[in-house]
Chains A and B, each alone.
Chain A
Amino acid sequence: DTGVSQNPRHKITKRGQNVTFRCDPISEHNRLYWYRQTLGQGPEFLTYFQNEAQLEKSRLLSDRFSAERPKGSFSTLEIQRTEQGDSAMYLCASSLTSPVTDTQYFGPGTRLTVL
């Protein structure tokens, strides 16, 4: 069990550029979640997948954001035409659907800075 990994850990980009983040969940976990955390706030839910199906999206997820999990394993989160307001920590979490536990395990996050 290597835990949830995210790449890159840090990303600095200029306004208007596109960025893509990757999340690798714990290997047997079928659910994968994306959250966004800004300074001094708790994480806010963006979207989640069960296997390759995207089951829920937050209203926070504008048309510039898209997430995929093509084979039910790793996931990518793309932000198009980045804005300064997109600067945040992007967190990924995974869990295993189970009658006894639904604990979400978090990765270290990708910190995005939009200049």
Chain B
Amino acid sequence: GNSVTQMEGPVTLSEEAFLTINCTYTATGYPSLFWYVQYPGEGLQLLLKATKADDKGSNKGFEATYRKETTSFHLEKGSVQVSDSAVYFCALTPRQGGSEKLVFGKGTKLTVNP
């Protein structure tokens, strides 16, 4: 089946620290991969995406590279800010049999302290 596993939180960092949130996936086809972010009191927002192996998605200083050999899509940011405090979800769409549903990980809560 299709599933996403991401590192358990919560993660607490100081401002300007380096961030990595690990994400690995299991999929039977060639999925598209996503990171969504949920800021406090707000809805889910797409942060970045990658649709094929070796693609790098990037946005707002965040990056993630689609690694087919390790079935991973780790999220990184070189210098986090207090405003990055949120819950981050890794997700995939299987793209098999025409299915476009998103399969999410459990989420990782990030808190950045000044």
Contacts and interface: CB of A to CB of B under 8 A. Distances in A.
- Say whether A associates with B: yes
Interface of A: 4, 31, 33, 35, 40-45, 48, 55-56, 58, 91, 93, 95, 102-109
Interface string B81-114: 0000000010101000011111111110000000
Contact of A48 (B43, B46, B101): B101
Nearest to B6: A42
B103 A45 contact: yes
Contacts of B32: 102
Contact of A43 (B44, B93, B99): B44
Interface of B: 4, 32, 36, 42-46, 49, 89, 91, 93, 98-107
29 contacts: A4-B43, A33-B101, A35-B102, A40-B106, A41-B107, A42-B4, A42-B104, A42-B106, A43-B104, A44-B104, A45-B103, A48-B100, A48-B101, A55-B98, A56-B101, A91-B43, A91-B44, A93-B102, A102-B93, A102-B100, A103-B49, A104-B46, A104-B100, A105-B46, A106-B36, A106-B44, A106-B45, A108-B42, A108-B43
A58 B94 CA distance: 14
A31 B100 contact: yes
